Structure 1
Amino acid sequence: MHRLLLRQLQRHLGKDFVPEGGWPQFLGAVSDHYEVSDQERALLGNALHVNSDELTAANQRLRAQSEQEHAQLRGVIDSIPDLIYFKTPEGIYLGCNQAFERYAGLPESSIVGNTALSIFDSTTALKMRARDTEMLTGGKAVVSEEWVTYPDGGNICLEVLRTPYFNSAGSVIGLIGIGRNITERKRLEEERRLAALVYQHTAEGMLVTDADYHIIAINPACARITGYELQEVLGKSPNIFNSGRQDQYFYDSMWEAINGAGYWHGEMWDRRKNGEIYAKSITINQLLGDDDSLHGYVVLFSDITEKKQSEELIWKQANFDMLTGLPNRRMFRDRLAQEIKKERRAGLSLALLFIDLDHFKEVNDTHGHLVGDDLLIEVARRIRECTRDSDTVARLGGDEFTVILTQLEDSKFAEVVAQKIINCMTEPFVLGEDVVYVSASIGITLYPDDAIEVEQLLKNADQAMYAAKNMGRSRFSYFTYTLQLAVQNRVRLIHDLRVALAAGQFCVYFQPIVHLATGRIHKAEALLRWDHPERGMIGPAEFIPLAEESGLIIEIGDWVFREATRWLTRWNGIVPQGFQISVCASPVQFRSEGNIPRDTWSDHLNNLGIPGKSVIIEITEGLLLDADPDIVNRLLRFRDAGIQV
């Protein structure tokens, strides 16, 4: 190496050049220099090799750390329920989280590099772009509420925050969007809005108190119903509305329910600011926090005064006679049932008086119904004056009244009251310009001596009243078992009468009338008899009144007429001079509309070829005394047909 170096130096410096100290010394110095240089190069090489390994390891560590941080950041972003996405200013997606993937219905790999037009429908995409542009133009974050539809059809409301992000030079290089699901919040806000509208505009009064039951808020309806404004009741107890109609027991029971069940509903009477008492339907609810601690009370109420007044009117109409103000039949029966229970527990008696006015019909017919109504009102007043406050006076209808005398220790007290009523009824009734006179017949029955049931007591008193009428009116009569037997017999006879005609149990007998001068039978009177299957022959005096009362006399009387004329046809063929039959007619037959035997009987005679003079219709004097023009006209038609009356 030294010889090569020597030749190179001599070629460049000349063969005559000789270094100081000679070539051996120079070459030795050079050799020493290169040896040191080689050593330094060797050390540098070793150092560079070591630094390269360290850099590679450091690089790997940084890369791993970066990947870990990226994974952590990605995990954080994906765990956020809000929709997060990144875009370029041109609207190209740079990234998103899983929540946004679910909304788009695509993985992130299909979203990145595309615009909204490639992912969503055009309407949605254009709206997104318009809002992005608005934000980018303004250069600051904007917030909007947007209703979006998921691929599965779900519809939610998002609160979307769009904000730009900048480079180090302050230029906008993209935007970040964050969408939060606020559907539940919107629902709650709508509920609160509706609740506020209801609170302000409902017709139902509302007030809110704190836990100590002091008023902190009222709605307009509460102010309108009570007459108080909020400033007048703020901090006060709702007890300022109390009317005094409810006792302390009522309020104790109310609070017991509120404290036990958390609410109470009922009705109460309160007082308005102007002092007016009114009825209200009210509900009180506790206001509890999430930890069940008491925050206050909500009171809801409505004015039901008109409803209560209507209910009271309906109740009165259902239970009281609107003319006299007395309890009606319905209320009477309820009162009698209650009094029976009381007397049974106390071991006492009661008396039931059944009062019927005598000659009331004549007053109505003569003076008119208005006077008749005034009479009933005055009768009710007089009867009340004859009884005690503990007794019940009722009007059953028409001219029928009842009195329940309670807590009787002596039954003779019933006689005293009955006689007082009879006496006061005989006094004249001055009704405006009219003066009328009536009397009263009263039936008396006793509990428990005569009966223990409402129906039976009423029947007993009714039977006793009719007995008083039959004895001459203006008197009283006690119920007896003889009366009961008579009534039972009467009911059975009426029942049997309804089938007697169809069963052929009636027959007509003829009482002949003999001409004394000639000894010839030229007339006969038709007499009705009832051949009862159990009792045998029953005379008309027993069953005709029942037939008249039940209305069966119309059909029976018509049958008698036709049966008599049938026999008359036979006898006219036997007696050359002609025969005449008389038939009795009941006043009921003339007074009953649609059943008057005027034209039908005349037509029947014509059909049989019997002259009218062959028939005599017998009537009572009472029919003529009480005959209206219609009855007179019917009698005249008989006369015109040749029938004698």
Structure 2
Amino acid sequence: MRLEASQQQLLSRRLRPLGYALVAVVGLILALTWVAVQTQVTLAGFLNGESLWSKAQKQAVIDLDEYATHGRPSDLASFRRNYAVLVADRSARDAIASGTFVHAEVEAAFARGGVIPEAIPGMVFIFQYFTGMPYVREAVAEWRSVDASLRELEVIADRLEQDYRPDASRPPEVSDERARIATLNNYIEPRAKAFSLNIANGASWLGRVLFFTVLGVAALASLLWLRMAQRILAGIRGTEERYSLLFDSAADAIFMVDQESGRILDANDRAAIWVGCPRSDLIGLQLSSLFAEGSPETGEGLLRTAGGGTRPVETQSSLVEWGKRQVSQAIVRDISDRVAMEQERKIAAEALASIAEGVIIADADRRVTTVNDAHTKLTGFPAQVMRRTRFDATRTLPDGRPLPQSLWDNIAAGDNWVGEVESRRADGTVYPELMSISTIRDREGRPQHYVAVVSDITVRKADRQRLQHLATHDPLTGLVTRSEFERRCAEAITHAAHERGAVAVLFVDLDAFKVVNDSYSHAIGDALLMRVAERIRAQIAPHDVAGRIGGDEFTVLLSDLRSREEALVVAEAMLAALARPIDLGDYELYVTASIGIAGYPLDGNDAVTLIANADAAMYVAKTEERNALRFYTPKMHADARRRLKLASELRQALLRNEFQLAYQPSIEMKSGRIVAVEALIRWRHPERGNVGPDEFIPIAESLGLIRQIDQWVLATACRQLMQWDEARLPPLRLAVNVSAGSFGHPDFLQGISQALESTGIPPKRLLVELTESAILRLGEDTQRAMQSLHKLGVAVAIDDFGTGYSSLAYLKLPAVEYLKIDRSFVTGLPGNPNDVAITEAMVAIARSLGLHTIAEGIETEAQHEFLLRAGCQEGQGFLYSRPLPPDEVARLLAPKTTGGKRLSLVPPKRA
């Protein structure tokens, strides 16, 4: 019983080829039968075609004879139809015999001859390949023998048709024609009968051949199948005993289990030994009850053993048919050794894989046996490529030398080695690597394996170098920082003191760099600074030092000099180099620089003093001339201290109410009438007296105070305009200058709205004067800001037009209604032709755009007359009035004076 299921499974496998062979035999017989059926269909088509052909031949003779006797057209038409059948069969036959034919045309011809459609392909096949077959050969010969006679019948029909025409000149020779038709029929009829007889005999003969062929093939196939069955059954009987022996003596426990109930049907001796009970006691038990953990279906588990122990096992089950019962054959294998080994390997593999560093294990010859995934990712060498390769073959010392033998001798002696090496990747690149090597020894203490732990320190070294570089160099230009410059300057001073030489420090500051930043973008400004740094480096010797200590401030250290005057050559070359145009792709910029020079030992004994004194000299060069250089003098420090003090006092000027406003009238050119005033700020210093705007405005901008000053000017001027209105003076337009910092501030528009609302001044009477730099500084937000001013009703005048970097596109911006012609163009009028052309062009542009023009700096009658003729509408200048205090403006505008002398303008003399 325990062998039955296994025998059934084995029998099924052994008998499967026998079943396949039986299917093949049956299929062969069916195929032959199908061939026989198709052949019979073809023969039936032959017989059918022969019958139709004979019938058509006979009927054609009869119709032609009737037509010869009576001349009826219907008889001739019937003859033509039957003759067409004969012609169709004959044309198909001849086309096949020619060897070159179109199947579709031949099949269509047979179809016209009335052949059964299913038989046509077979007929074509036989006529093409088997015309020499018995009876077919004779039948075809008889068929061909009557071709000429049939064609003669057609000739007779054509002749009779001509004779029976209504316009025929003579009657037909009926008797002669009928006699010839009878003669032809006597020749055709016996041959037609012979054709029919041969076709019938051929069909009978071919049927017998097919029958005996099918019978012979079936008998032969059956004989072969029986011989195969005998061999297979003999083999099955021989394997039964071997299978029984293997079942009982197997090293694994085998259980035969009912699939439905899970109960054991049989078990081998090994199963009984492991469980510790007779085989008979296992019958009927649930197999799952023998497992302490897992189950037969889980694959692995713990099998209960004698004495209450467990054994790790692996179960493999296969389902077999045992009669009508589904039986599972469970093979239970002891995997105690494998589990222990896998556990050890798992621990080792997890430990190795979890290490972030690359690990290499090599044999005593330093040939790699194992590497972890981290090493593969690190080097790009797969584990199989590294295997049996000396791992030190791809590593050298940082200087390129191979790892010395002394290193391996020390490791073999018991020392661990840790150091930096240069390692090569699979793609040929190299990288720095930190490597630690230790040994695993055998029982005799000899090195059995080497274990190397490696890690890529490229990032670590790069970070260290980058941090060192960033700590001492400017990230934008690559020049040294202030602290590094001071350190190197101190070293140079120490060296110069020892050698009794000199050191010079150059302080370089770009002129109008802020305009470039405001006009273009910070990205363009950064690109400009990098190109400037390149030009500075190009002018100094390799041992000299260039540094960047501020936005557009650079320092240069010239060492190994005999006197500070030697720095003059380098400074002049540097000025010339920086003055050349700088190509930045879409832009070509022109910048200049101011340079201050201070030297050791004349101007200071330490780095900080030299840099400060060079800075003071640079400031003098910038304020006096620009694109110039100056050597330091003690007086420069006094001026610098004065500027610092002025900056400190400027912070308190607003709180102390030290600012005042003066108002310069703007007159209508044609009438001389005052139509507007421009508010101009003045600083009345308690100790220094009047401080001009040119002196304190740049300081206010650098300190960030300019927005507060602009807000004070706007509020004060609006209040003054309100007071003049309350005094019933003629209404004026008030112009207020706004700096770039204020114009770009988010609260700028709100400040204007508040000033207008608090004073009640109509927005159309307020004119905001903006310089080109202020408009350019706002960049992409210019359109938005101008649109907001336009909605508010406040007009904008572009001041100093043509002196900066502006585009004519700004004249089309919303709110721009006034164009101020700068005094630099008015001064040369009317004698300077360039100023004349520029001024006339400005006035023409303004007129075409509907802008109001205001000329500044008019001081002579000639200037007034020229501008009037050119079409300029308003003018400002000393020819009319200087900036005045508010009370003098009121006296100037008053229609009548009640006392004292009325203030009057200085109008041009006119006829």
Change in CA separation of 1:394 and 1:279 when aligned onto 2, cut-off 3 Å: same
1:343-362 equivalences under 5 Å are: 343=492, 345-347=494-496, 350-358=503-511
2:616·2:637 contact (CA, 8 Å) conserved in 1? yes
1:321-336 equivalences under 5 Å are: 326-328=477-479, 331-333=480-482, 335-336=484-485
1:587·1:623 contact (CA, 8 Å) conserved in 2? no
Structure 2 unmatched ranges of 5 or more: 1-270, 280-290, 294-301, 308-335, 668-673, 772-797, 820-850, 853-873, 877-911
Question: How far 1:388 moved relative to its partner?
Answer: 1.7
**Residue identity in the other structure for 2:711:** D
Partner of 1:277: 430
SS in 2 for 1:585: strand
Per-residue Cα deviation, 1:591-632 (whole angstroms, up to 9, x for no partner):
4444657x8557745654567899898888963334673897
Partner of 2:90: none
Question: How far 1:399 moved relative to its partner?
Answer: 5.0
- Which residue of 412, 428, 440 maps to 2:593? 440
Partner of 2:817: 636
Mapped partners of 1:490, 1:256: distance in 2: 73
1:333·1:454 contact (CA, 8 Å) conserved in 2? no
SS in 1 for 2:594: strand
SS in 2 for 1:623: strand
Q: Give yes or no for the alignment of 1:539 onto 2:691.
A: yes
Change in CA separation of 1:463 and 1:244 when aligned onto 2, cut-off 3 Å: farther
1:334-345 equivalences under 5 Å are: 335-343=484-492, 345=494
1:613·1:644 contact (CA, 8 Å) conserved in 2? no
Partner of 2:563: 410
Per-residue Cα deviation, 1:67-119 (whole angstroms, up to 9, x for no partner):
xxxxxxxxxxxxxxxxxxxxxxxxxxxxxxxxxxxxxxxxxxxxxxxxxxxxx
1:350·1:404 contact (CA, 8 Å) conserved in 2? yes
Mapped partners of 1:588, 1:316: distance in 2: 37
1:204·1:301 contact (CA, 8 Å) conserved in 2? yes
- Which residue of 200, 206, 230 maps to 2:359? 206
SS in 2 for 1:505: coil
Question: How far 1:370 moved relative to its partner?
Answer: 8.1
SS in 2 for 1:390: coil
Mapped partners of 1:465, 1:405: distance in 2: 16
Mapped partners of 1:434, 1:635: distance in 2: 27
1:268-307 equivalences under 5 Å are: 268-272=421-425, 275-285=428-438, 287=440, 297-303=450-456, 305=458
- Which residue of 528, 551, 575 maps to 1:422? 575
Question: How far 1:299 moved relative to its partner?
Answer: 1.2
**Residue identity in the other structure for 1:284:** I
Change in CA separation of 1:215 and 1:347 when aligned onto 2, cut-off 3 Å: farther
2:482·2:548 contact (CA, 8 Å) conserved in 1? no
Identity of aligned residues (%): 28
**Residue identity in the other structure for 1:624:** F
Mapped partners of 1:540, 1:188: distance in 2: 95
- Which residue of 603, 624, 632 maps to 2:801? 624
Q: Give yes or no for the alignment of 1:471 onto 2:624.
A: yes
Mapped partners of 2:664, 2:583: distance in 1: 55
Partner of 1:219: 371
Question: How far 1:408 moved relative to its partner?
Answer: 4.0
Q: TM-score, normalised on structure 1?
A: 0.53
Partner of 1:386: 539
**Residue identity in the other structure for 1:346:** H
- Which residue of 641, 658, 681 maps to 1:506? 658
1:339·1:406 contact (CA, 8 Å) conserved in 2? no
Question: How far 1:473 moved relative to its partner?
Answer: 2.0
SS in 2 for 1:470: helix
1:174-253 equivalences under 5 Å are: 190=343, 193-196=346-349, 198-199=351-352, 204-208=357-361, 214-215=366-367, 217-219=369-371, 225=379, 227=381, 239-243=392-396, 245-246=398-399
Question: How far 1:411 moved relative to its partner?
Answer: 2.4
2:418·2:435 contact (CA, 8 Å) conserved in 1? yes
Per-residue Cα deviation, 1:307-361 (whole angstroms, up to 9, x for no partner):
76688788878876777xx415xx4335324414533553456444333344556
Mapped partners of 2:341, 2:483: distance in 1: 55
Per-residue Cα deviation, 1:527-547 (whole angstroms, up to 9, x for no partner):
7555657x4645234433322
Question: How far 1:422 moved relative to its partner?
Answer: 1.3
Change in CA separation of 1:635 and 1:434 when aligned onto 2, cut-off 3 Å: closer
Change in CA separation of 1:406 and 1:289 when aligned onto 2, cut-off 3 Å: farther
2:437·2:452 contact (CA, 8 Å) conserved in 1? yes
1:264·1:283 contact (CA, 8 Å) conserved in 2? yes
Mapped partners of 1:462, 1:251: distance in 2: 57
Change in CA separation of 1:622 and 1:210 when aligned onto 2, cut-off 3 Å: same
Q: TM-score, normalised on structure 2?
A: 0.40
Mapped partners of 1:463, 1:440: distance in 2: 14
1:564·1:581 contact (CA, 8 Å) conserved in 2? no
Q: Which deviates the most, 305-314 or 391-400?
A: 305-314
**Residue identity in the other structure for 2:482:** R
Question: How far 1:300 moved relative to its partner?
Answer: 0.7
Q: Which deviates the most, 401-410 or 430-439?
A: 430-439
Change in CA separation of 1:449 and 1:252 when aligned onto 2, cut-off 3 Å: farther
Mapped partners of 2:700, 2:417: distance in 1: 63
SS in 2 for 1:443: strand
Q: Give yes or no for the alignment of 1:557 onto 2:746.
A: no
Q: Kindly tell me the number of residue pairs found equivalent between the two proteins.
A: 464
Mapped partners of 1:409, 1:266: distance in 2: 48
Per-residue Cα deviation, 1:35-55 (whole angstroms, up to 9, x for no partner):
xxxxxxxxxxxxxxxxxxxxx
Q: Which deviates the most, 368-377 or 254-263?
A: 254-263
1:350·1:446 contact (CA, 8 Å) conserved in 2? yes
1:505·1:530 contact (CA, 8 Å) conserved in 2? no
Change in CA separation of 1:134 and 1:604 when aligned onto 2, cut-off 3 Å: closer
Q: Give yes or no for the alignment of 1:490 onto 2:643.
A: yes
Per-residue Cα deviation, 1:270-304 (whole angstroms, up to 9, x for no partner):
23476432232323345578999977642111345
1:548·1:588 contact (CA, 8 Å) conserved in 2? no
Mapped partners of 1:565, 1:200: distance in 2: 79
RMSD: 5.9
Partner of 2:776: none
1:553·1:588 contact (CA, 8 Å) conserved in 2? no
**Residue identity in the other structure for 2:421:** M
Higher helix content, 1 or 2: 2
Change in CA separation of 1:601 and 1:430 when aligned onto 2, cut-off 3 Å: closer
**Residue identity in the other structure for 1:327:** G
Mapped partners of 1:363, 1:547: distance in 2: 20
Structure 1 unmatched ranges of 5 or more: 1-129, 139-145, 149-156, 163-182, 516-520
Per-residue Cα deviation, 1:129-188 (whole angstroms, up to 9, x for no partner):
x997635669xxxxxxx999xxxxxxxx9x9998xxxxxxxxxxxxxxxxxxxx9xx999
1:208·1:299 contact (CA, 8 Å) conserved in 2? yes
1:429·1:436 contact (CA, 8 Å) conserved in 2? yes
Per-residue Cα deviation, 1:559-588 (whole angstroms, up to 9, x for no partner):
244335545555655x55558697763544
Change in CA separation of 1:485 and 1:250 when aligned onto 2, cut-off 3 Å: farther
Mapped partners of 2:427, 2:731: distance in 1: 92
